[in-house]
Structure 1
Amino acid sequence: MAHHAPRQPSDRSALPDRRMAAPRSRWSRCTTALVALIGATVALTGGATAAHADPSVAEIERRIDEDWNKLEPVIEQHNATRQDLAAKRRQATALARRIAPLQRQVDQAMDQVTGLAVEAYKGEHISAVNALLGSRSPSDLVGQLELLDRFAQRQQRDVRAVVDLRDELAARKAPLDEMVGRLTRTEAQLAAKKQQIDAEIDRLQKLRLKVYGSGGGGALRPAPCPAGYPGGPAGTAVKFACAQIGKPYVWGAEGPGAYDCSGLMLAAWAKAGESLPHNARQQRQVTARVSRAELRPGDLVFYYPDLHHVGMYVGDGWVVHASRAGMPVRMKRVDDGPVNSYGRV
């Protein structure tokens, strides 16, 4: 609440005494005007020490939900991009392994051609060339040239086959390399975006814990629900269950306005796309058994030897549950009651 400076007495209230009062000094009049001006400024600005109330738990969690809904698509796109990038990199690497020996063959062939040219230049085969060129019979000369041409063509075909295969593989690898480059850039952009949203969620989470620490959650929600924001189907289920806090218990109800214990679990996991029976014992039968140490938000906690009650673990040792008639959906400590077992959908 803003603190306002005390109001100065108005001149009107002093009118009856003005004729009897001694004239005030100029300094006195100036200080009075200054005090009035400061008072007006404080009143306009709400005071230098105005208290700013923290947002409510509901407001913070609404903002976290908004940010999380922005983050989850980024996470999913990031995961898909990483998988696609890994696959394309494997394909490009496999082609590179096939290209490498072909390139070596081409290099060796070129080395041989270069070696022959050098030898010819040095004169090692000059006598054969002279003999060929010095042939007296035109038909002999043509035959010799054709023989050399066939030999050269055969060598050229051998090298060309290798070059063609190398170029074919390189042509297949080029778009992969381009795609790897694009996916790498996309991955970096998604990582940066995810980091920014993560930082904002962390900031809101700290503010959320601060408000809960000051008792802002109320008796039904004495701790953050959920303790953190898990992703995937479990995150959807646990956030739905927490959002039902305060709704009444009605036997046989599975929402949206009221719930019994197994009905709340059924509705929460239905929101995440999973089907559960409307019975605590049967829910125990269709969920995978986990240990206390393995508990994570979204897991089910079953109570009593006959398994007649179930709640949802929401993190930090808390569950949310619909307990009994006359008591709304609320949170409690996981050990507040005889735990039978734990199950994971």
Structure 2
Amino acid sequence: MAAHRKPRQQSPLGGQAVRAAATLALASAATATLFEGTGHADPRLTTAQVKAKVDRLYEEAEVATEKYNGAKEKADEARAAFDRLRDEAARRTERLNTARAGLGAAAAAQYRSGGLDPAVQLALTSDPDEYLERAALAEKAGDRQAAAVVAVRRELGAIRRLRGESEGRMTTLREHEAELRRQKAAVLGKLEAARTLLARLTAEERARYEAAVAAQSAGRATGAGGTGSATAAGSTASGSYAAPTGQTAGAPAARADRSASGSSGDRAPLATVSPAPDSRAAAAISFARAQLGKPYVWGATGPSAYDCSGLTQASWRAAGVSLPRTTYTQINAGRRVSRSELAPGDLVFFYSGISHVGLYIGGGQMIHAPRPGSPIRIAPIDEMPFAGATRVG
């Protein structure tokens, strides 16, 4: 049988040749992968490209912040409405229990009297005067008992209605809270992306970046007719950020900006502003000026930190005027005015999405809360794309 076996076919290459060929194949594959990876790797961004991306991320973060503010306002309203319904249901339940207790006492008294019908009991009374007196009392007791039954039925219906409304409010509240979480994640994602981009810069690149930001702000301030000192102050974006629950977290960045330019630089342009048209506008500007140097924190409404719409809302609240929470609603809170009609105290809005707001103080200047890493400061309204203005008060 062995004579019929097919002989083993020998490889045309020896063992060493096979190993050499395999080594060359692996090396070629690795080289191809290396070149392919290099070809598809993201090129290192220039300082100008980093600045453009960071600016866009901060703008997108502010859009998300205003959506967060709106969602929070709606969630707070839904929660307050739910709490009111719950409190009303508790009061109604207490009244229901009182009415039920009254009916129970009447039933117990009837049982103790032998369960006789009141008319039969009156008929067995021998004294006519006593009969008439008891008849009147029995009629009053019957009226009270009937009223108690009606009250119980009314409270039961009211409680059922309140419970139905409460369930609806709870559903609405959960929807708004889910939207709140989505917008919070969006804000944090944009800010983290900006921080990551800035963290990749070398010390030299970071210096160029900050110089570019300062030069851009100073150029716009000069173009607006201002001195530019206020704009350069605090304009370097450090990329630090904080959630609204930590409203003082941006304070170190704010102090760094102020120490770099001098606190007087924030206030210098106020000498060139126009007088406020009335006492309320003056009060709003005075409040905003007192906040200079405090940190921007997204979602914050004071007193230690603010976002842009939080600052304008608080400033006009100090003047006795209630503004809504977000930029999208504040722009409709008064009379629209053109750029040529601007007066101190007007709200000035920026970007096509109405995602930023400042308080106009005259002379082409405003007080605003710019973005993370930049404290509340005075800046020219030419610093951002102008979108509109509203006069309140």
**What TM-score do you get using the length of structure 2 for normalisation?**
0.46
Match of 1:82 in 2: 79
Q: 1:158, CA displacement in angstroms? A: 4.0
**Separation (CA, whole Å) in 1 of partners of 2:341 and 2:147:** 71
Q: SS in structure 2 opposite 1:34?
A: helix
Match of 1:179 in 2: 165
**Separation (CA, whole Å) in 1 of partners of 2:21 and 2:181:** 60
**Separation (CA, whole Å) in 2 of partners of 1:314 and 1:69:** 13
Residues 156 and 57 of structure 1, relative CA distance in 2, 3 Å threshold: same
Residues 330 and 63 of structure 1, relative CA distance in 2, 3 Å threshold: closer
Contact persistence 1:314–1:320 (CA under 8 A):
no
Contact persistence 1:237–1:272 (CA under 8 A):
no
Is 1:313 aligned with 2:368?
A: yes
**Separation (CA, whole Å) in 2 of partners of 1:110 and 1:52:** 88
C-alpha distance after superposition, 1:193-232 (max 9, x if no partner):
3123213312322332444564387442643599444589
**Separation (CA, whole Å) in 2 of partners of 1:270 and 1:50:** 41
Q: 1:97, CA displacement in angstroms? A: 4.2
Match of 2:251 in 1: none
Q: SS in structure 2 opposite 1:298?
A: strand
**Separation (CA, whole Å) in 2 of partners of 1:272 and 1:52:** 46
RCO comparison, higher one (Cα < 8 Å, 6+): 2
One-letter amino acid of the counterpart of residue 108, structure 1: A
**Separation (CA, whole Å) in 2 of partners of 1:190 and 1:270:** 23
Unaligned runs of 5+ in 2: 1-15, 125-133, 200-205, 218-234, 240-294, 302-306, 313-329, 348-356, 385-391
Match of 1:298 in 2: 358
Q: 1:103, CA displacement in angstroms? A: 2.0
**Separation (CA, whole Å) in 2 of partners of 1:107 and 1:176:** 25
Q: SS in structure 2 opposite 1:104?
A: helix
Match of 1:109 in 2: 106
Is 1:201 aligned with 2:201?
A: no
**Separation (CA, whole Å) in 2 of partners of 1:156 and 1:318:** 75
Is 1:92 aligned with 2:151?
A: no
Q: SS in structure 2 opposite 1:319?
A: strand
Match of 2:290 in 1: none
Q: 1:39, CA displacement in angstroms? A: 1.4
Show the 5 A alignment for 1:321-336. 321-322=380-381, 329-330=382-383
Q: SS in structure 2 opposite 1:39?
A: helix
Aligned residues: 236
Q: SS in structure 2 opposite 1:223?
A: coil
Contact persistence 2:365–2:380 (CA under 8 A):
yes
Residues 47 and 96 of structure 1, relative CA distance in 2, 3 Å threshold: same
Contact persistence 2:68–2:299 (CA under 8 A):
no
Q: SS in structure 1 opposite 2:369?
A: strand
One-letter amino acid of the counterpart of residue 220, structure 1: Q
One-letter amino acid of the counterpart of residue 21, structure 2: R
Residues 66 and 281 of structure 1, relative CA distance in 2, 3 Å threshold: closer
Show the 5 A alignment for 1:44-193. 44-46=36-38, 56-65=53-62, 67-68=64-65, 70-117=67-114, 147=123, 154=139, 158-193=144-179
One-letter amino acid of the counterpart of residue 320, structure 1: A
Q: 1:106, CA displacement in angstroms? A: 1.1
Contact persistence 1:234–1:272 (CA under 8 A):
no
One-letter amino acid of the counterpart of residue 166, structure 2: V
Contact persistence 2:86–2:166 (CA under 8 A):
yes
**What TM-score do you get using the length of structure 1 for normalisation?**
0.51
Contact persistence 2:68–2:183 (CA under 8 A):
yes
Tell which deviates more after alignment, 159-168 or 184-193. 184-193
Contact persistence 2:365–2:378 (CA under 8 A):
no
Match of 2:28 in 1: 36
Show the 5 A alignment for 1:9-24. none
Residues 144 and 196 of structure 1, relative CA distance in 2, 3 Å threshold: closer
Unaligned runs of 5+ in 1: 1-23, 121-128, 130-142, 239-268, 288-296, 303-307, 323-328, 332-343
